[in-house]
Amino acid sequence: MKSFRIFITSLTCIAWSLCGEEVKKEGSLHDFMAVSISGEDIPLSDFAGKIVLIVNVASECGVTDQYEVLQALYEVLQDRDFTILGFPTNEFGGQEPGTNKEIAAFCKREYSVTFPMFAKIETNGDNQLPLFRYLTSAENPDQVGPVGWNFEKFLIGRDGKLLRRFGSNIEPDSEEMIEALKEALKEEE
């Protein structure tokens, strides 16, 4: 009987290991890698010491004009060790159908985007980027769970920990967002 229990325990452990990567609730942004929109592997530890705003973006969304305000924030705050990381996704209404090259061209042409952009990803589901697995499960005062739409925003502290999460209905220049940015920049200096 004892050997049967050991056998079942072993099978259970093997099954769990085959079920995919464990949801990482601890850790930080700095533990992950991502692919830039031009195809380079980028260790996100490159952003250690910065306040980071991660945004899942799309070119054909009703709130795509948030790119304009995001770029303005980036231009004003980048000298204070602030950056924005844009992650295109096509999973919400098929609103980012282009290739990485087309997305990069659109961002430059329409909004003069100069903040770092990354390759198209999935923010939810079986092919979810591990970074977004962390972001959607990490404790924060706003919400935990799947990304609901394009242009959700994740505010990350200098230590790489998630500070706040904002839905797509929260404009990047809203009072709530500006106050959170001021607080993050002030607290972390």
Is residue 2 assigned to a domain? Answer: no
Domain count within the chain: 1
Query: Model confidence over 121-169: pLDDT tens digits?
Result: 999 999 999 999 999 998 888 888 999 999 999 999 999 999 999 999 9
Query: Model confidence over 112-134: pLDDT tens digits?
Result: 999 999 999 999 999 999 999 99
Is residue 6 assigned to a domain? Answer: no
Is residue 118 assigned to a domain? Answer: yes
Domain that holds residue 115: 23-187
Is residue 3 assigned to a domain? Answer: no
Distance CA 142, CA 151 (A): 16
Active site residues: 61
pTM of the model: 0.85
Q: How many CA atoms lie within 13 A of 146 on its CB side?
A: 10
Is residue 14 assigned to a domain? Answer: no
Question: In terms of DSSP H, where are the helices of 20-114?
Answer: 66-77, 100-111
Q: Which helix (H) or strand (E) is 7 found in, with range?
A: helix 2-18
Burial of 76 (0-12, 13-18, 19+ CB in 10 A): exposed
Is residue 15 assigned to a domain? Answer: no
**CATH code assigned at 48:** 3.40.30.10
